[in-house]
Amino acid sequence: MKFYLHLYYPYLIIYVAAKIRYFLQIAVCSYHVPSIETIIFGIPLIVVFLGWFMYESYMLHQDDLGKGLFWGGCIGGIIGAIFGFSLHFKTQRQYQEIIDQIEDLTSE
């Protein structure tokens, strides 16, 4: 029995698209704001992990590749931190605006 893979591709694409759509619906509906304890624990943990990763990468590749990985990681980490904190503060500001609107509506 010969399996015709080209006949299976459209069904595979539809199946994968449906799974991605379902995952996104679950992810959007179940979004929760991380607590401050999670942030306080998570940020130092990721800094230690990335520092250890950079050290191991540099020790493994002490040539130009290691230096490129190090500086690329540093620059990417700084850009990611700036983007993450700006997104976090923007979200907090939007939440505060929503809370203020709710308080204005309930105080009347």
Q: By residue range, what is the domain housing residue 75?
A: 33-107
Does residue 79 fall inside a structural domain? yes
* Whole-number pLDDT of residue 79: 93
Can you give the pTM of this predicted structure? 0.50
Q: Are 69 and 61 in contact (CB under 8 A)?
A: yes
pLDDT at 82: 92
Averaged over successive runs of 10 residues, the pLDDT of the chain (108 residues) comes to: 55 69 60 69 83 79 76 86 88 87 82
**103-to-7, 62, 87, 97 alpha-carbon distances in Å:** 58, 58, 24, 10
Query: How many separate domains does the chain show?
Result: 1
Q: Could you tell me if residue 97 is inside a domain?
A: yes
Flag whether 6 is in a domain.
Answer: no
Residue 58 is predicted with a pLDDT of 76
**Within a domain: 47:** yes
Q: What is the pLDDT of residue 27?
A: 54
